[in-house]
Structure 1
């Protein structure tokens, strides 16, 4: 989906968040903000926000001389969720429909903004997961996803954020349990951007135990397919099914020319929510409406 004017605020907020994180002085903050404002003035608004914010991110990281300012926070959240992984598995194992509960928990993990602060409340996350069946999904194409997986030979699972990647791994374990013959790829960003997952995060959570990790070769805040590597695009278009986690993947892939993409995320802004005709902060499992062959 094209950049919404409200997305400009997300770009500017990222300037403030990162420069505060690295404790930059006021004059340096002003230099970065002025350059970002100039970039946003000139950029093509027909692009998606995940692609636009890549330019903003490049300006920020150039000035602070750090391409991965969230690195410490990402590692922290990965470790914290790893520590409660067995509790999450136990909650799933109590269910009569393990696949469906694991899927809902994977979506619920998208409710947590792991980059918001360097704190972690295990009780809040477990409570959200424990009450998963009370979570209403106004768009629920999980049964369609299950049916597609029955005949699929290759699945590409596109990751989203740190911490959340641990629960992605758990969901993939249950996909394997239901469909043991599927070859699963786990897609990560090619470069650090905000708190999105990279090969480093995948290695930290041992994602290779359940899937072949593949970098998309790009550092956009989502999956901007024309920016990705040839190797990634080969997997993307040959996969029978794609699970795309997070709003950034939805924004960048919702109009792509291929079918059988299932978006699992929380609509965290009015622009995205209105594109799906759902309330803001809704969680969804939505199949792509693009029915072209992929």
Structure 2
């Protein structure tokens, strides 16, 4: 999905968010903002926003000399969600359809912005998760996903953010319980970018218990395949099914010529919602289909 002009605002907001998080003074904020605006002026708008925002991130982190300013925040949310895992598993186990419940709960986690605000409300998240089974999917290809998994030997699950990685793990647990013969790979970013998951986050939640963790070798805010390593691309193109979590993975993969990709996320901006012909803030399980 090409960069939408509204995506420029996301780049600018990231400058404001990170510089506020690090308590930078006005002079340093201005230096970073001017550099980012210059970069965005010259950027190739035929690229996707996940790729473009990598350049913005490099400018910010290069100036502050901190490659992972969200590191402690990511650890905080990974820890908080891990402490809730037992309650979430119990909720799924009480469901009549464990696959659908685990899938919707994994998507529901994408509703929460596990970013710079440390004020975590467990009751709020549990209420959202409890209501997940009653929330309709604006695009619902979950039955097709189930059938594809039934016939699959391998699944590549592309992670998104911290915190929700815990619910991704629980969804994978349920997939493997239903389809015990399937081999699962869990894909993470190769370098820190915002609050996206890396090898460190996967290790923090013990993702290795349910999947082989693989780095894509790149630091884009999504999965820009041409920037990833050959080892990652081998798995990407050979896997029978791909589950891609989060809007960034949709933006970077929606135009790729590769079947059996299922996008699980909440549409958090009008540009993406419009591309899918759905209402903004809808949640979806959508198979890659450029004809939509």
Aligned to 1:250: 250
1:98–1:174 Cα contact (<8 Å) kept: yes
How many residues were matched structurally? 291
- SS of aligned partner of 2:223: coil
Deviations 1:119-170 (A, max 9, x none): 1100010001111122121100000000000110110000000000000000
The aligned residue for residue 207 of structure 1 is 207
State the TM-score, normalized to the length of structure 2.
0.99
Stretch of structure 1 that moved more, 72-81 or 129-138: 129-138
CA contact (8 A) 1:77 1:163 kept: yes
Q: 1:116, CA displacement in angstroms?
A: 4.3
Spell out the pairing of 1:36-115 with structure 2 (5 A cutoff): 36-115=36-115
Alignment of 1:112-261 (within 5 A): 112-261=112-261
Instruction: Please give the secondary structure, in 1, of the residue aligned with 2:140.
Output: coil
**CA distance, structure 2, for counterparts of residue 47 and residue 161 of structure 1:** 22
The answer to whether the Cα contact below 8 Å between 2:73 and 2:116 also exists between their aligned partners in 1 is no
Pairing 1:33–2:44 present: no
Task: Compare 66-75 and 110-119 and name the one that shifted more.
Answer: 110-119
Answering whether residue 11 of structure 2 is matched by residue 14 of structure 1, we say: no
The structural deviation recorded for 1:118 is 1.1
- Structure 1 residue 290: deviation in Å? 5.0
Give the 3-state SS of the residue equivalent to 1:184 in structure 2: strand
1:287 aligns with 287
Q: Secondary structure at the match of 2:139?
A: coil
Decide whether aligned partners of structure 1 residues 238 and 290 sit closer, same or farther in structure 2, where only a CA change above 3 A counts. farther
5+ unaligned residues in a row in structure 2: which ranges? none
Any conservation in 2 of the 1:102–1:170 contact (CA below 8 Å)? Answer: yes
Q: Secondary structure at the match of 2:50?
A: helix
- Aligned 8 A contact 1:258 1:290 in 2: no
Within 1, Cα distance between the matches of 2:215 and 2:42? 30
1:10 alignment partner, SS class:
helix
Assess if the C-alpha contact under 8 Å between 1:256 and 1:290 holds in 2: no
1:268 correspondence with 2:271: no
Q: Secondary structure at the match of 2:251?
A: helix
Residues 273 and 280, structure 2, Cα contact 8 Å, conserved in 1 = yes
| Deviation per residue, 1:57-102 (Å, 9 max, x gap) | 0000000000000000000000000000000000000011101100
Structure 1 residue 257, shift from structure 2 partner: 1.0
Q: Distance in 1 between matches of 2:49 and 2:219?
A: 13
Cα contact 2:21–2:116 (8 A) shared by 1:
no
Superposed CA RMSD:
0.8
Contact 2:70 2:116 (C-alpha < 8 Å) held by counterparts? no
TM superposition outliers: structure 1 runs of 4+ over 3 Å? none
Contact 1:240 1:260 in 2 (8 A): yes
